Structure 1
Amino acid sequence: MAVLLQRPHAAVACLLFLYHLTSVLSIPDPRLREALIKLEASMQTGGQVVLTDAEKRLDAVLLKMKQEEMVRAEFPPALHFFKAKDLIKASPIFSLLQKMPKGGALHIHDLAMVDVEWLVKNVTYRPHCYMCVTDNKSIRFIFSSKEPKALPQCSAWTLLEHLRAKMINVTDLDNSIMANMTLVTDQDPETVYPSQDVIWAKFEETFLALWGLVTYAPVFRDYYYQGLTEFYVDNVMYLELRALLPEIYELDGSTHDTAWTLKTYQEVTKQFIADHPDFFGARIIFTIHRGVNASVMARTVEKAMKLQKDFPDIMAGFDLVGREDSGRPLWYFRDALSLPAERGVALPFFFHAGETDLEGTEVDQNLLDALLFNTSRIGHGFALLRHPVAKDLSRKQGVALEVCPISNQVMKLVNDMRNHPAAALMLENHPLVISSDDPAMFGATGLSYDFYEAFVGFGGISFHLGSLKQLAINSIRYSSLTPKQQDKALDLWQRRWDKFVSENVF
């Protein structure tokens, strides 16, 4: 029986035969019951991980923590993250997860990786920073050596250093600016954001609000370095960043092209590794908004192929971003997305797909189409359980889902994390990784909050240290790194993991 449990797929037929035999005889066998329970446990994410003695001791500590967590009056995974955040921060499980080496973050967006407080307190206090207020009460920024030209539907530009000089207390102004750069609210989030349409409108507006800050050349470098720092502090050793690669501007208004932007990512990444030798690196997934037309998409794919050739070390591949429900489906862009294969060019795809609850729509076919275009991973894949063919293909092809728990909840796809589709997928060890999407927009940082929601919310009592270990390993094995680089990264991660275990076993 022990041998069979080490080979769950081979064991299923045998155990089912015994089950049917006992059913016929109407004699429930307690040994068979125990074997079935163990078999099911072995099939979940991390179910085949063999723990060391030290890991077993830490796992026992984790189990006790989780049992105490699940009887709390307010169970954080059942609450909206904006209400649950302080409860999570107070959790000993969260404290342990912060220390845990989590491997890589494979689904992060460029303009939402840095705490907005850093942007306000650091960037908006720099010289030559102008702000205007739009007709719909949002804000825009620009750095300029002279007064900028007026923007349509925006107030006159105000130099922030002059505005602050006139104020006795600038805290209210800073808080107001921060409120325009995040979805976080002190009010009831269900009331503030009653529908997906409302929250997506605010979500997209926040990116416009911070665009002029982040795309200023000196800030752009500092912003990316700060983003790497925040993930590094959260014990993440590798990133794959979805980036629009926008034109970056200088104080005199001159701009740099896409290649310059990608090269800057490369330079800053190298500098960060030099400063932090136990950080493995970062790669860029070039993105474009899915609202463009077919001809713009074709030109962008052409550009992506050239960037892939010119920057093979930093460029990981290509993706489409933006709300799926209101954007064009992948099949609309089939001619443009077929260009790399037609030309024999290797341009890996990392498509967002299945970030929807609109079953049966044209957009709902993005999951299957992503697989038909040989996507390397699937961003979100929230709808995968409703697509058995796509689910089977993704498993057989080893196409992992990039699951972003907090994002899916805040963007109103799921209320209670215990009901997230990934909970069922993890019980059958479907290939997936945990990431945080746009942490700055949700008032989170790094990966620890999302790991908490997955470990405590998805897993209940059944997920254990082996589950966490497997998720970290997945984040490296399903990355865009070469097999040789993955092995090297895993060696580095394993050393950090062993140190983490030894330091937290008492």
Structure 2
Amino acid sequence: MVVSLCRALVTFAPVLWLVREADGMPDPARRDLLMREEVSKQMGGLLTLTTAEQKLDAYLHRLKEQEMSAARFPPAVHFFKAKPLIEQSSIFKLLQKMPKGAALHIHSSSLVGVEWLVKNVTYRPHCYVCFTWDNSVRFLFADRQPFPRWDCFYWQLLETLRAVNGDSTGFDNNLIQHLTLFTEDPEGDYPNQDVVWEKFEKAFIAAAGLVTHAPVLRDYYYQGLKELHKDNIMYLELRSGLSRTYELDGTIHDKSWTLNLFQEVTKKFIKDHPDFLGARIIISVHRALSVSEVRAAVEEAIQLKKDFPGLVAGFDLVGRESRGRSLWYFREALSLPAELGASLPYFFHAGETDGDGAEVDQNILDALLFNTSRIGHGYALAHHPLAKELSRKRNVAVELCPISNQVLKLLSDLRNHPAAVLMSEGHPMVISSDDPSLFGTSGLSYDFYEAFVGIGGLKANLGTLKELAVNSIRYSSLPTHLQNTGLVMWQNKWDAFISDNS
């Protein structure tokens, strides 16, 4: 099915003798061997493509050459401006059809498109809204007008407000702007990382009151799985803080109740869509918390992992890395599972920063010291040769989220993404979308396009796409037998995709 799924076990033939100083014209045979050896090291370079795959690969290569010669090359443009160009791309349309395996890095509050939230959820009865002093919004479902609180002095029933406003389309578009980062002038509206992160965090807070209402959460999560499935994704690992899920009368559910909801909805979705493999939760807390608060969260996560062994995958710290506390700051809390002999795999965000040499720039090494199962983002990994070597030897995959990295201003031109080096070396890697609703995306196709066309360049081929899809299952938290089941399911989908498009 797939050759050399685990690159860590592959030993390349020594070729250094080929590059010794030549007397006169170098031997063309040696040059050809060098070229083949270099290609074999890149992502997908060890895969042998079938005749049908080779045909599709040649077609993809021609399409990529055409797009690279266009006046506006989408990966070189901010995604908010590039999105309509991408949607016209023949490569993108093929990627939408391609079975992409698993989405391993998505946050729960940004799983579903904001249009669904506004057009569906905010039209439900008993939905209140408050416009805050800092130009944000809060939502709350309640059976009576909510009391004022520090950030919301006056709650208004959305149904009444829409009726008074008269222009429901304009009103809804205003709400959408509060729930997404999209703007027609991203460079002007977001001149630096501080500004874009402020809007980013406001959007998360605004969505929280909607998605944590218990009846909404049930529908929201099912809708999120539908959007992934539509994009030919068959498995999800969702980062969630398991926020306080509430009822109309103000009743608050505990995290076990919320996990039970996730479990029930996942089972229902699999019953309705038998070609969907499943979903698991990575419990996450914000890195702005204190050591004692993170310690308590780790203790709770250990117990929840015991109570829901097939659902809870592990634990992570989230939030802006360059302004938050380092992993090492929380070392006492993060050492707790080992001290207790408990099982709690880590899936740390690390290296989502361009602050070379800063304290948080060491998070990648610290993540590896704490035996992280994967590295979230890993943007800075290419600048850490030891961490890169260790992660490769331990088979710790990077969760690459290219659109997120660009929108949050780690770089402007995705051709310059440091992951290009990792892809050329065949470093363990998967593609994900981080916060799709905030960026105006859905599923993984947009991020696959940016990684394949922009970061991978002409060297990336169908083998690259194939290995990335397989990686998403192999580097998931699923036990081996379920990974194998997933790979068989994926291979059947892949064969059908190749047959339909070659």
Provide the TM-score with structure 2 as the length reference. 0.97
TM-superposed CA distance for 1:9, in Å, is 4.3
Q: Provide the C-alpha distance between the structure 2 equivalents of 1:19 and 1:128, rounded to a whole number of angstroms.
A: 73
Code of the aligned partner of 1:80: H
Of 54, 57, 62 in structure 1, the residue corresponding to residue 55 of structure 2 is 57
Q: How does 1:450-489 map to 2 (within 5 A)?
A: 450-489=447-486
Q: Provide the C-alpha distance between the structure 2 equivalents of 1:154 and 1:478, rounded to a whole number of angstroms.
A: 43
TM-superposed CA distance for 1:328, in Å, is 0.8
TM-superposed CA distance for 1:8, in Å, is 8.0
Q: Secondary structure at the match of 2:281?
A: strand
For the 8 Å contact 1:120–1:177, the answer to whether it is kept is yes
Of 91, 94, 97 in structure 2, the residue corresponding to residue 99 of structure 1 is 97
Asked if residue 246 in structure 1 is aligned to residue 232 in structure 2, the reply is: no
Code of the aligned partner of 2:471: N
Q: How does 1:82-121 map to 2 (within 5 A)?
A: 82-121=80-119
Asked if residue 235 in structure 1 is aligned to residue 268 in structure 2, the reply is: no
Q: Provide the C-alpha distance between the structure 2 equivalents of 1:355 and 1:169, rounded to a whole number of angstroms.
A: 41
Q: Provide the C-alpha distance between the structure 1 equivalents of 2:236 and 2:83, rounded to a whole number of angstroms.
A: 24
TM-superposed CA distance for 1:166, in Å, is 2.3
Q: Secondary structure at the match of 2:375?
A: strand
Unaligned residue ranges in structure 2 (runs of 5+): 1-6
Corresponding residue for 1:123? 121
Code of the aligned partner of 1:294: V
TM-superposed CA distance for 1:54, in Å, is 1.1
TM-superposed CA distance for 1:164, in Å, is 1.5
Q: Provide the C-alpha distance between the structure 1 equivalents of 2:456 and 2:181, rounded to a whole number of angstroms.
A: 27
Asked if residue 261 in structure 1 is aligned to residue 261 in structure 2, the reply is: no
Corresponding residue for 1:29? 27
For the 8 Å contact 1:216–1:248, the answer to whether it is kept is yes
Q: Provide the C-alpha distance between the structure 2 equivalents of 1:155 and 1:172, rounded to a whole number of angstroms.
A: 24
Q: How does 1:98-497 map to 2 (within 5 A)?
A: 98-186=96-184, 188-497=185-494
For the 8 Å contact 2:141–2:213, the answer to whether it is kept is yes
Q: Provide the C-alpha distance between the structure 1 equivalents of 2:134 and 2:368, rounded to a whole number of angstroms.
A: 40
Residues 78-128 of structure 1 deviation map (CA, whole Å, 9 limit, x = unaligned): 000001000000000000000000000000000001100000000000000
Moved more, 293-302 or 29-38: 29-38
Q: Secondary structure at the match of 1:479?
A: coil
Code of the aligned partner of 1:371: L
TM-superposed CA distance for 1:19, in Å, is 2.0
TM-superposed CA distance for 1:18, in Å, is 2.7
For the 8 Å contact 1:316–1:480, the answer to whether it is kept is yes
For the 8 Å contact 2:301–2:315, the answer to whether it is kept is yes
Unaligned residue ranges in structure 1 (runs of 5+): 1-5
TM-superposed CA distance for 1:337, in Å, is 0.6
Moved more, 213-222 or 54-63: 54-63
Moved more, 198-207 or 30-39: 30-39
Moved more, 57-66 or 231-240: 57-66
For the 8 Å contact 1:8–1:43, the answer to whether it is kept is no
Corresponding residue for 1:18? 18
Q: Provide the C-alpha distance between the structure 1 equivalents of 2:149 and 2:177, rounded to a whole number of angstroms.
A: 21
Residues 264-297 of structure 1 deviation map (CA, whole Å, 9 limit, x = unaligned): 1111111110110000000000000000001101
For the 8 Å contact 2:288–2:324, the answer to whether it is kept is yes
Corresponding residue for 2:4? none
For the 8 Å contact 2:127–2:142, the answer to whether it is kept is yes
For the 8 Å contact 1:350–1:379, the answer to whether it is kept is yes
Asked if residue 75 in structure 1 is aligned to residue 73 in structure 2, the reply is: yes
For the 8 Å contact 1:242–1:286, the answer to whether it is kept is yes
Residues 364-423 of structure 1 deviation map (CA, whole Å, 9 limit, x = unaligned): 110000000000000001000111111110000000000000000000001111110111
RMSD of equivalent CA atoms = 1.2
Q: How many pairs were matched up?
A: 495
Q: Secondary structure at the match of 2:457?
A: coil
TM-superposed CA distance for 1:168, in Å, is 2.8
Code of the aligned partner of 2:145: E
Q: Provide the C-alpha distance between the structure 1 equivalents of 2:227 and 2:151, rounded to a whole number of angstroms.
A: 35
Q: Provide the C-alpha distance between the structure 1 equivalents of 2:162 and 2:438, rounded to a whole number of angstroms.
A: 25
Residues 476-497 of structure 1 deviation map (CA, whole Å, 9 limit, x = unaligned): 0000001111000000000000
For the 8 Å contact 2:140–2:209, the answer to whether it is kept is yes
